[in-house]
Structure formats: structure tokens, C-alpha cells
Structure 1
Amino acid sequence: MATVLDSVRAFFAPATTYTIDAETSADVVARETLLDRAMGPDRRLKSSEKIRRSRLPAEGLALVARDGDGHVVGTVRLWNIEAGIAADGQPIDALLLGPLAVDSAHEGKGIGAALMKAAIAEAQKRDHGAILLVGDAAYYERFGFFADKTRHLVMPGPSDRARFLALELKAGWLDGAAGMIVASGRKLA
């Protein structure tokens, strides 16, 4: 049975192809190099990065875009978090998306959008309820991310409220969610 990742393939010009695939251990150096170039030297100081520290991405939710030669030209990962607590006092499981990055030589080819669509589809397939992120609202709104569902949630450390966005994969998942975002999920060995 084909998965979402198997079926996501984009063609924008005869000579320009890429595929979206699951990240492998062989992609680590290329991914980190890409993130360093795209995000700059201070990328590890961001609030989102602090949540991800010492954790593994959510199961099956670390994706890369590969060019026709198999080189990593884009990356996105999603991480297990608790998105505050519900009215009944129970923690709300969700995902934190990021970072999303595309090699500057491949920008404008739809790779970032393809990575976003594949990540959202895979999260839905894996029965997650919501995805949160800190990012450019003008970019992420086209994928359904808005600030209204995060108004009672708080990122640890400094962050821009207008850039703290959420997408519910299940209607009402974040209704009543309030409190601090904290890491959950698998820890690094």
C-alpha cells in the first residue's frame, strides 16, 4: 500500500524534479548543513529549538526533499508536544512543526509547500490532532495555520505572538487549550 510520502512527487519543469521522502540517518549531515545555511548561526537559540533539544522527531514525521540526484534540498520535522491543558486538566497532545527550510538554490520551486503538504497529510494519517508552529503568518495561513487557536497558549522564552500559529487536524482539538508548550515524546538515547 502506497503511503503519502510514496505518492508525493512534484514536477515544475522538465529539468527540475524533486521528491519528498522520509528522512534517514544518512541525511543528518546534509540536513544540519542546510539548516545552518538557511537559519543562520543563532538558530539553536530560538524557543522552538529549546523544545526540540534532546528529543527525536515524532514517529514518521521527519521529511526531506531530494533533487534528481538524491541530494537533500529541503527539510521539515514535527515534534511531539503538550499544548497546554484542557478544561478537564488533561494535557493536550499536539505536534510542533519546524524547522522548515529549503536550499536557497531551490527556492521558488514549490518545495517548501510540498514539504508542508506532505507533513500535514502524514500527521493526519498518523491520527494527530493539531500542529503548532512559530513562523510567518502570511506564508503558513495558506496551509490553514492561524493564531486564534494559540491565544491561550504560551511558548517558553521569547516569541512573537503574531507568529505563534496552529492548525487543527481534528476540529475542536485545541478548544479550551491553555498553558505552556512543553516537550513530550521520544528522547534521544
Structure 2
Amino acid sequence: MAEIAREAPGDFHEVEALYDLCFAPGREALSSYRLRDGVPPEAALCLVARGRAGEVAGAIRTWPVRVDEVPALLLGPVAVHPTRQGEGLGALLIHKVVARARDLGHPRMMLVGDAPYYARFGFARLEGVVMPPPTNPERVLGLELVEGGWDGIAGEVTRAVD
């Protein structure tokens, strides 16, 4: 299928080119990008899938954020090259990142996405967790990586800064 490895610094431009190909122009204007601006991603939770010829077939990144000052992970973006879509590569990347995040002891993860797609990974609507506008609240989803990981957590999602 594909070889999956942690994203290396030399992968940056190829991964960005994949995101440009897969997402609409202006993707960086989305609210989730404002949360990423100036914040390094969680390197251990950024993966690249390469095809047999060494091409970037898929990628996923994860970022630290805060929900009312409580640390959380923001999953995404995840992208699969159009010629590789439908092979399950995106699902594989998501499963691997979720498993690694659990292994690393992170208690919670969130994303902005389509509930019917992400429900199969265990993500569900987060009540009371507010992304910067303009984000549809129905698309703010969360996953407990440990039991009770989202219990009692609500509020605005902000950038994780030191």
C-alpha cells in the first residue's frame, strides 16, 4: 500500500504541495490555521505515507491547542493524493496517529470535520467547545484518548503558546 513514517524536515515542501493540491485555495485562512500559526506541530504525530516510487501519497499533521487553557491535540490536516484516494490510506494515517497519541499519554484530541466520516474513528460532536469563527459548531469533533479525557472541558479553543 504505502510506507508510513514520521514526517521529516525535508518532507515539508512535498507535504505542503499535497495540501495545496487537495484543499481549496485559501485553506490557510481557515480558523484552524490561525490556531497553528507560529506553533510547531506535534512532530511525533505528523506522518507521511509514500508510494512505491517514493512519492508523497498522504500526510497528516497534529497540533497542540488549548480549550479554556486545557491542553488538547488538533488533528489535521489529513490529505491523500487524488490518485490514491479510496484505498484507505487516510483512515490508516488517522488510526496510526490516534494510536501514537494514546501511547504518548495524550488525553484528548479534536478536529473540525464531517461527523459521519470521523465517527468511525470514535470522534463525536464536542458540546461547549468553541472554535474561532467562522466554524460550524456541528463540525467540532472530539475523541477521548483516555477515559474521561473530555469530561468537564468546554470553552474557546486557542493557540498553544508558551
SS of 2:124's equivalent in the other structure is coil
SS of 1:81's equivalent in the other structure is strand
Rg larger in structure:
1
For 1:19, give the aligned amino acid: E
Contact 1:152/1:179, CA 8 A, preserved across alignment? yes
**Contiguous gaps of at least 5 residues in structure 2:** none
Partners of 2:41 and 2:53 in 1: CA distance: 26
SS of 1:55's equivalent in the other structure is coil
Matched, 1:75 2:69: no
Aligned length: 162
Partners of 1:178 and 1:131 in 2: CA distance: 13
- For 1:56-95, what aligned pairs fall within 5 Å after superposition? 56-84=40-68, 91-95=69-73
Query: Root-mean-square deviation (CA), in Å?
Result: 1.2
Contact 1:78/1:98, CA 8 A, preserved across alignment? yes
By how many angstroms is 1:114 displaced?
A: 0.4
By how many angstroms is 1:107 displaced?
A: 0.2
2:138 aligns to what? 162
Partners of 1:104 and 1:136 in 2: CA distance: 19
Identity across the alignment (%): 39
Partners of 1:171 and 1:114 in 2: CA distance: 23
By how many angstroms is 1:185 displaced?
A: 5.4
By how many angstroms is 1:59 displaced?
A: 3.6
1:19 aligns to what? 3
TM-score after normalising by structure 1: 0.82
2:14 aligns to what? 30
2:32 aligns to what? 48
By how many angstroms is 1:121 displaced?
A: 0.6
Partners of 1:120 and 1:18 in 2: CA distance: 18
For 2:33, give the aligned amino acid: E
Contact 1:63/1:115, CA 8 A, preserved across alignment? yes
For 1:63, give the aligned amino acid: L
SS of 1:48's equivalent in the other structure is helix
Change (3 A) 1:26 1:68: same
Partners of 2:160 and 2:76 in 1: CA distance: 15
